[in-house]
Chains A and B, each alone.
Chain A
Amino acid sequence: QKEVEQNSGPLSVPEGAIASLNCTYSDRGSQSFFWYRQYSGKSPELIMFIYSNGDKEDGRFTAQLNKASQYVSLLIRDSQPSDSATYLCAVPEYGNKLVFGAGTILRVKS
């Protein structure tokens, strides 16, 4: 089974700063990577996905993929208190399954 590792945090950043969330994965053959956001007591929602090396930007969010080093990052620019949540990294596994990391808690302080 593929493994997906994340620092559980909490990661605390001041409002307006850049939050950097990291994820490492065990399978060098993994091709796609997904970031989900989960507010406390709620269900996860997909916010970003990336398939190729480099950066992918969507609004204040940037996903960075480095296949050689087997890590994927999520950057949140101009962090807002509403970004405070748990961020889950996920990687597809053989058999059309999605494997999730344990998630990183982000706290944005105003």
Chain B
Amino acid sequence: DGGITQSPKYLFRKEGQNVTLSCEQNLNHDAMYWYRQDPGQGLRLIYYSQIVNDFQKGDIAEGYSVSREKKESFPLTVTSAQKNPTAFYLCASSTGTGRVGELFFGEGSRLTVL
């Protein structure tokens, strides 16, 4: 079945550690996105990529990094510079230009800082 796979679903991090969240899609979509969701809030865009080897900062990119070396993969690293990383992280993809509103989401990764 086609879809987006995020891992891990739950992750605990000690302060000062970097962690990487995995996102893989087999939908053959060009565009991929990372959103962060805090309790009672909507989705805020961290980074997005419209094509392999290219990505752009979203509204809250500070303390995060990404790479897009393969069309299928868009991992997100939460660095120690992110001061409040506890949140629900969602990866999404779309076919790209003209269909940007039609996002397909993974199941999410819930990160907790101890």
Task: Answer whether residue B11 sits at the interface, using C-beta atoms and an 8 A cutoff.
Answer: no
Classify the secondary structure of A's interface with B: strand
For the complex, what is the distance from the CA of A1 to the CA of B40, rounded to whole Å? 21
Map CB proximity to B onto A86-110 as digits: 1 under 8 Å, 0 otherwise.
Answer: 0010111001111111110000000
Task: Answer whether residue A46 sits at the interface, using C-beta atoms and an 8 A cutoff.
Answer: yes
Instruction: Identify the closest chain A residue to B105 (Cβ).
Output: A43
Enumerate A25-79 residues with CB–CB distance to B below 8 Å: 32-34, 36, 42-46, 49
**Residues of A in contact with B, size category:** 20 to 34
* B105 and A103 contact, CB distance less than 8 A: no
For the complex, what is the distance from the CA of A14 to the CA of B33, rounded to whole Å? 37
Task: Answer whether residue A8 sits at the interface, using C-beta atoms and an 8 A cutoff.
Answer: yes
* B100 and A43 contact, CB distance less than 8 A: no
The stretch among B14-22, B41-49, B73-81 that forms the contact with chain A is B41-49
Count of B residues near A, CB < 8 Å? Answer: 25
Other-chain contact of B42, A42, A49, A97, A100 (Cβ < 8 Å): A100
Instruction: Identify the closest chain A residue to B103 (Cβ).
Output: A98
Please indicate the chain A residues that have their CB under 8 angstroms from the CB of B41 in the complex: 102-103
Map CB proximity to A onto B83-110 as digits: 1 under 8 Å, 0 otherwise.
Answer: 0000000100000110011110111100
For the complex, what is the distance from the CA of A104 to the CA of B2, rounded to whole Å? 29
Task: Answer whether residue B25 sits at the interface, using C-beta atoms and an 8 A cutoff.
Answer: no
Map CB proximity to B onto A1-37 as digits: 1 under 8 Å, 0 otherwise.
Answer: 1001010100000000000000000000000111010
A46 and B102 in contact, given A96-B48, A96-B97 (Cβ under 8 angstroms)? yes
A98 and B42 in contact, given A43-B105, A43-B106, A45-B105 (Cβ under 8 angstroms)? no
For the complex, what is the distance from the CA of A88 to the CA of B48, rounded to whole Å? 20
